[in-house]
Chains A and B, each alone.
Chain A
Amino acid sequence: MKHDDRELLETLGPVIRDAGIRRFEPGFADRVIERIRAEHAPPVIVLSAALSRQFLRLAPLAAGLILALSAYSLLGTGMSAGQSFMEATFGLEPVTLEAVYAFDPTLDPANE
């Protein structure tokens, strides 16, 4: 270091050193810890997000099951006269006016 620089360092050094600020606002450490807690906290599992994840996992399985059962119904019993495709798929009896008003013998107390 040149003589001039050394002289300058001796003159300016103390002035600059004394001007240094060595503290943040009070409570700095608490603010740091608060941010660390916030940034490193374990992720909160939101119910809707968990349900959504479970749905995505189960939906293909459920769809496959529905298709298999529908195919079984269609192939096993076939479509009878007056039965719609949906009724045949789900194995439902055809709904007719006559069937609606027909007396269900299982409800007759005499049959008990």
Chain B
Amino acid sequence: MNERIPDRELLEQARAGDHGAFRTLVQRYEPVVAATVIGMLGPGDEAEDVGQETFIGFYSALDRFREEASLKTYLTRIAINLSLNAVKRRRRFLARHVDGDSIQTNLPDPEPDPADRADSLETRERVRRAIERLPSKQRAVVTLRLIDGYSTRETAGVLGVPEGTVQSRLSRALKKLEAYLQPLVER
């Protein structure tokens, strides 16, 4: 039923203080924000917090939001920026409190058990961990291009980098992912 109300109308109602209208927008765009944030940070409390902050930031900027940009792209931009900040915070925390060796030992064995193929949850977890091993800039490109489904141009727009940079980051990321996920894919 909510799907019939255009975003523009919901935005107007939300600007007028209607929390119900804003809730509908949150429900509508939760998949977009979740895919971006969980793609960047993995599932858990940190992703939930960043997801909430994305929408709270958007709520605070409702009056400034110009509708020339699509809402999906706008929210993705907030989500990816907040996620990149969270990755930096996490890296600083790990650098301060955990030594490098223990970070490595926490990562999964890149050679999976053959039984993993049949288990989609295991596969999902393995893919997620493989993405998590990528440097944050490559992870952002993989999340936007492959999980969110943005084109190279749109990804470049969201990240504010040239298309060539997106392509080169994606290329490097794919090579690493191929090594991590080799046993999962049939070529």
Contact = CB atoms under 8 A, between A and B. Distances in A.
Contacts, number: 106
Chain A contact residues (Cβ within 8 angstroms of B): what range? 20 to 34
Interface in A20-40: 20-25, 28-33, 35-37, 39-40
A28 B27 CA distance: 8
Nearest to A13: B146
Interface of A: 1-2, 5, 7-9, 11-13, 15-25, 28-33, 35-37, 39-40
B149 A12 contact: no
B56 A36 contact: yes
B22 to A, nearest CB: 7
Given A12-B177, A17-B146, A23-B31, 6 more contacts: A5-B171, A11-B178, A24-B47, A30-B23, A32-B23, A32-B55
Nearest to A10: B187
12 contacts: A12-B177, A15-B184, A16-B131, A18-B124, A21-B128, A22-B30, A23-B31, A28-B30, A29-B27, A33-B26, A36-B19, A36-B56
B30 A24 contact: yes
Contacts of A15: 123, 127, 181, 184-185
A87 to B, nearest CB: 62
A25 B56 CA distance: 17
Contact of A16 (B26, B34, B127): B127
B107 interface: no
A44 to B, nearest CB: 19
Interface residues of B, number: 41
A28 B48 CA distance: 8
B146 A29 contact: no
Interface stretch (B3-11, B35-43, B67-75, B91-99): B35-43
A21 B34 contact: yes
Given A17-B149, A20-B35, A5 B52 contact: no
Contacts of A17: 146-147, 149
A110 to B, nearest CB: 76
Contacts of A25: 48
Contact of B147 (A8, A9, A20, A39): A20
A2 B59 CA distance: 42
Interface in B130-181: 131, 142, 146-149, 167, 170-171, 174-175, 177-178, 181
